[in-house]
C-alpha cells in the first residue's frame, strides 16, 4: 500500500470516528438506552435510570414532528444500581405518514435512542406511505392523536359524536340486562379510569368499558352466565363479538362505536375476581363495588362502583394517575380470575351464533367445484360444520346423498330453508357418540364409503378438538373414504381479515398433512396459496387437500 493510500485511509478513519463520536454524543449511549424491537407493528425498548428518577416519557418522532409519546414502565430488578424502564409504541397507522426521505427516531429527554437493529439513531422507510408528514401535522393540530391501538383518531375528549354513540349503546345494554337478568352495568376499566382521573373520557382510548357483577360466586357459573347474556343480546338484535374475558357489543346504530362488557365475580370469601385481570394484586372486597352509585359522564347518567378510586387503583396499579397511550395489558397484568374465562369452544359457539343471526347467504364456495372435479367420488357426503348449507346443494348434485352437520341452531335452520336436496342435523362434532351414529346413518346398511367434507373447520376447532375429530374419523373409516379439507394456513396469520375473531388457528401445511398421514390417509391432491377464495376485503392464504383412506 502506498504512503498516499495509507494517509487517505487514516484520514477517512478519523472522519468516521469523529462522525461516530458526534452521533453517540447526540444520542443516548447504547448501554443506557436502546430500541430493541423495530418493526411495522411496534417499536419497543428500554432505558436505564436511577431508581429514584421521576416518571419518564419517551416520544416517537417523524422528522421534527413529535407524533406520540408513552411512559417507560419500571421493572422490579436493577442493573448495576440502575432501574430498567421499558417502553412500547404500537404502529398501526404511523407508517402511512412516512416517506422515504423522512427520518423516524425515538427520543428521551430530547435526545435520540439508538435503534439496535439499524445501528443508528434514525431510520428512513424503504417505501412511501400513502399520506405525508404535512397531513399528520394537520391532523394533530385538529385534535387527532394516535390511540391506544396505534390508530390515528380524533381524541375522545372532543369527539362528542362518539361519546353520544357509546353512551346510548351502553344505556341500551344496561336496560336490557336489568330487565332480563336483574344485572346492573357500571363503568369499568378504561372508562372508569377516565371518569376518576380525567373527569371524562380518556383521549387515546379505543372503546367504552362497562361491567357487571355476576350473582354467581362460582367462576365457571359466572362464565356460563356471560354466555347466556351474550345469547340474549344477540336475540335482541345486538352484534356480539365474544372474547375470553368480555363481550364486544355493537348495534345497527352505533357506527364505529363499541362497548366492551366485562363480567366480575363476587367470590365466596367476599372478594372480587376480575377475569380480564388487573395490575394490582391485593384483594378487593365486594363492598368496593356495591352498592353502585349514580354519576354523570359527558352529561349522561351512569353508574359507578361504591369506591371507584379503589377499583381503579386495583385495576391499574399505583401509576394509574399518569396517562399512558402505550399502556399494554400484555405486560402490565399481574393477576386474573382465569377460572371465569370463556374457553375457545365457548367463544366459537357464540361467534357463529352471532354470525348466523344476520345471515348473508353467499353462493357456493370455490372449494366445492375443486373437490367435485376429481373422479370416482363416493355417492354419500357428510358436510362437517356445514353452517348455512352454502355448499350442500352443489355437493348433492349428480344424485349424491348429503348430510350436513352443525351445532348452531340458526345455521341449521338456514340450511334447511336453503335447499331440500340435502338433510341437516343439529349436532356437536365434539360429541363422539352422536358423530359415530350420524356417520353410520350416512353410510347406510351397505356401509358405503363416505366423502368427509370440511371447509374451514380445521382452523375453527381448537387443536385438541380437531385431533380428536380426526381420530374419530379414522376409527370409523372404511377403505374408499375420502377427506376434503380447506383451511387457513400460517401464511394467512397476518393478512387482512374481513371479520374479527378472537380465536383462529393457522397451522402450517406440513403439520396438517402429517396429522392425516399418521392416521391412515393418503394425500391425492393438494393446492395452496392465495387467490383461491377472495371474500370482501380479504384474500386468504388457504390449503386444499383431498385424501383417501388407505386399505
Averaged pLDDT for residues 248-272: 91
| 332 and 186 in a common domain | yes
Q: What local confidence, expressed as pLDDT, does residue 262 receive? A: 98
Q: Do residue 49 and residue 131 come from a single domain?
A: yes
Cβ–Cβ under 8 Å, residues 83 and 49: yes
In a domain, 353, yes or no: no
Reported as a single tens digit per residue, the pLDDT across 478-515 is 999 999 999 999 999 989 888 777 678 999 999 999 99
336 in a structural domain: yes
Indicate if 168 and 143 belong to the same structural domain: no
Of 119, 153, 187, which one is at a domain's C-terminal end?
153
Which of 121, 138, 153 represents a domain boundary (last residue)? 153
What is the Cα–Cα distance from 375 to 392, expressed in whole angstroms?
A: 19
Q: What is the pLDDT of residues 64-92, one digit of tens each?
A: 999 999 999 888 878 889 999 999 999 99
The confidence score (pLDDT) of residue 26 equals 64
Q: Report d(CA 322, CA 53) in Å as an integer.
A: 15
Tell me which of 172-181, 229-238, 365-374, 491-500 is least confident: 491-500
Before 163, cis peptide (omega within 30)? no
Residue 30 pLDDT exceeds 60: yes
CATH number, position 76: 2.60.40
Which range of residues forms the domain containing residue 323? 160-342
Q: Is 467 exposed, middle or buried (0-12, 13-18, 19+ CB in 10 A)?
A: middle
Distance CA 136, CA 128 (A): 14
Beta-carbon contacts of residue 234 (< 8 Å; ≥ 6 apart): 240, 350, 353, 354, 357
| Model confidence band, residue 354 (pLDDT cutoffs 50, 70, 90) | very high
pLDDT of residue 323: 86
CA dihedral 524, 530, 531, 537 (to 10 degrees): 140
Query: Which three three-digit cell numbers place residue 165?
Result: 354513540
The residue among 403, 388, 378 whose CA lies nearest residue 484 is 378
178 and 247 both lie in a single domain: yes
CA–CA distance, 360 with 349 (Å, rounded to integer): 18
Percent of the chain with pLDDT over 90: 79
Note whether residue 348 is domain-resident. no
The most confident of the ranges 6-15, 298-307, 320-329, 430-439 is 298-307
Residue 35 lies in a domain: yes
CB–CB of 56/49 below 8 Å?
Answer: yes
Are residues 131 and 189 part of one domain? no
Q: Is residue 12 part of a domain?
A: yes
The CATH number given to whatever domain includes residue 487 is 3.40.50.150
**Whether residue 143 is found in the same domain as residue 214:** no
489 falls within a domain: yes
Phi/psi at 366 (5° precision): -75, -10
In Å, what is the CA distance from 18 to each residue of 14, 15, 105, 201, 223?
A: 6, 5, 21, 50, 63
CATH number of the CATH domain containing 283: 3.30.460.10
For residue 214 the three cell numbers come to 355476576
CA nearest 520: which of 486, 488, 472, 487? 472
* pLDDT at site 31: 79
Provide the domain count of the chain.
Answer: 3
Please tell me the predicted confidence (pLDDT) of residue 127.
95
Q: Which of 353, 318, 332, 206 is nearest to 278 (CA)?
A: 332
- Tell whether 181 and 141 lie within a shared domain: no
Mean pLDDT for the stretch of residues 353-361: 90
Do 305 and 192 form a contact (C-beta atoms < 8 A)? yes
Residue among 393, 454, 401, 396 nearest 429 (CA): 454
Does the pLDDT at position 19 exceed 80? Answer: no
User: Do 66 and 106 lie in a common domain?
Assistant: yes
Q: Are residues 86 and 164 in the same domain?
A: no
Give the pLDDT confidence of 178-233 residue by residue, as tens digits. 999 999 999 999 999 999 999 999 998 888 999 999 999 999 999 999 999 999 99
Asked whether residue 521 falls in the same domain as residue 379, the answer is: yes
Domain finish residue from 316, 342, 368: 342
State pLDDT tens for residues 383-425.
Answer: 999 999 999 999 998 899 999 999 999 999 999 999 999 999 9
Residue 211: predicted pLDDT: 98
The crossing angle, in degrees rounded to 10, of helices 509-517 and 463-475 is 30
Rounded to whole angstroms, the Cα distance separating 337 from 226 reads: 14
- Give mean pLDDT, residues 284-291: 97
Q: Please, are residues 245 and 275 in contact by the beta-carbon 8 Å criterion?
A: yes
> For residue 218, what are the CA distances in angstroms to 54, 458, 515?
43, 32, 38
Residue 37 has pLDDT above 50, yes or no: yes
For residue 259, being part of any structural domain is answered with yes
Cell output for 273: 375476581
Q: Does any domain span residue 245?
A: yes
pTM of the model: 0.83
Q: What DSSP assignment string belongs to 194-259?
A: IIIIISS--TT--SEEEEEEES-SSHHHHHHHHHHHHHHHHHHT-EEEE-SSEEEEE-TT-TT--E
Interacting residues of 515 by C-beta distance below 8 A, sequence separation 6+: 467, 470
> Same domain for 300 and 439?
no
Q: How far is CA 373 from CA 139, 286, 516, 530, 532, in A?
A: 54, 63, 22, 20, 15
Q: What is the pLDDT of residues 450-474, one digit of tens each?
A: 999 999 999 988 899 999 999 999 9
Whether residues 201 and 295 share a domain: the answer is yes
Amino acid at each position: 500500500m502506498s504512503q498516499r493510500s495509507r494517509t487517505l485511509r487514516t484520514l477517512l478513519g478519523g472522519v468516521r470516528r469523529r462522525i461516530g463520536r458526534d452521533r453517540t454524543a447526540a444520542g443516548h449511549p447504547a448501554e443506557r438506552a436502546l430500541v430493541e424491537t423495530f418493526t411495522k407493528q411496534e417499536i419497543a425498548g428500554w432505558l436505564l435510570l436511577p431508581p429514584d428518577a421521576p416518571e419518564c416519557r419517551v416520544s416517537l418522532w417523524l422528522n421534527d414532528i413529535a407524533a406520540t409519546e408513552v411512559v417507560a414502565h419500571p421493572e422490579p430488578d436493577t442493573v448495576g444500581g440502575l432501574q430498567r424502564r421499558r417502553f412500547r409504541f404500537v404502529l398501526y397507522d404511523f407508517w402511512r405518514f412516512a416517506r422515504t426521505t423522512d427520518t423516524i427516531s425515538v427520543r428521551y429527554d430530547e435526545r435520540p435512542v439508538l435503534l439496535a437493529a439499524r445501528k443508528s439513531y434514525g431510520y428512513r422507510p424503504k417505501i412511501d406511505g400513502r399520506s405525508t408528514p404535512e397531513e399528520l401535522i394537520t391532523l394533530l393540530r385538529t385534535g387527532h392523536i394516535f390511540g391506544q391501538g396505534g390508530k390515528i383518531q380524533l381524541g375522545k375528549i372532543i369527539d362528542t359524536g362518539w361519546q353520544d354513540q357509546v353512551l346510548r349503546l351502553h344505556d341500551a345494554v344496561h336496560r336490557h340486562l336489568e330487565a332480563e337478568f336483574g344485572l346492573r352495568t357500571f363503568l369499568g376499566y378504561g372508562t372508569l379510569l377516565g371518569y376518576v382521573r380525567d373527569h371524562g373520557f380518556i383521549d387515546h382510548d379505543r372503546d367504552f368499558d362497562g361491567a357487571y357483577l355476576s350473582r354467581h360466586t362460582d367462576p365457571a357459573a359466572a362464565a356460563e352466565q356471560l354466555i347466556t347474556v351474550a345469547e340474549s343480546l344477540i336475540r335482541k338484535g345486538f352484534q356480539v363479538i365474544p372474547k375470553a374475558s368480555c363481550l364486544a357489543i355493537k348495534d345497527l346504530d352505533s357506527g364505529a362505536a363499541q362497548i366492551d362488557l366485562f363480567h366480575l365475580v363476587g367470590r365466596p370469601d367476599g372478594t372480587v375476581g376480575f377475569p380480564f385481570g388487573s395490575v394490582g394484586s391485593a384483594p378487593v372486597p365486594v363492598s368496593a363495588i356495591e352498592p353502585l352509585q349514580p354519576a354523570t359522564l359527558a352529561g349522561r347518567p351512569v353508574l359507578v362502583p361504591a369506591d371507584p378510586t379503589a377499583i381503579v387503583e386495583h385495576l391499574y396499579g399505583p401509576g394509574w394517575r399518569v396517562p399512558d397511550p402505550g399502556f399494554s395489558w400484555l405486560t402490565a397484568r399481574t393477576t386474573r380470575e382465569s377460572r371465569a374465562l370463556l374457553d375457545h369452544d365457548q367463544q366459537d359457539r357464540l361467534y357463529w351464533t352471532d354470525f348466523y343471526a344476520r345471515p348473508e347467504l353467499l353462493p357456493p364456495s370455490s372449494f366445492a367445484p375443486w373437490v367435485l372435479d376429481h373422479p370416482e367420488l363416493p355417492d354419500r357426503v357428510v358436510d362437517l360444520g356445514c353452517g348455512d348449507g352454502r355448499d350442500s346443494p352443489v355437493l348433492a348434485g349428480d344424485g349424491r346423498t348429503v348430510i350436513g352437520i352443525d351445532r348452531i341452531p340458526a345455521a341449521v335452520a338456514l340450511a334447511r330453508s336453503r335447499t331440500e336436496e340435502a338433510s341437516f342435523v343439529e349436532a356437536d362434532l365434539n360429541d363422539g357418540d352422536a358423530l359415530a351414529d350420524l356417520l353410520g346413518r350416512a353410510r347406510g346398511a351397505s356401509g358405503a364409503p363416505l366423502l368427509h367434507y370440511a371447509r374451514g373447520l380445521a382452523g375453527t376447532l381448537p387443536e385438541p378438538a380437531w385431533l380428536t375429530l380426526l381420530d374419530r374419523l379414522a376409527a370409523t373409516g372404511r377403505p374408499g373414504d375420502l377427506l376434503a379439507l380447506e383451511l387457513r394456513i400460517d401464511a394467512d396469520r397476518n393478512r387482512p381479515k374481513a371479520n374479527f375473531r378472537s380465536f383462529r388457528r393457522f397451522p402450517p401445511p406440513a403439520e396438517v398433512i402429517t396429522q392425516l398421514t399418521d392416521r391412515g390417509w393418503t394425500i391425492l391432491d393438494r393446492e395452496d396459496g392465495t387467490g383461491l377464495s377472495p371474500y370482501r376485503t380479504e384474500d386468504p392464504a388457504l390449503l386444499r387437500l383431498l385424501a383417501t383412506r388407505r386399505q
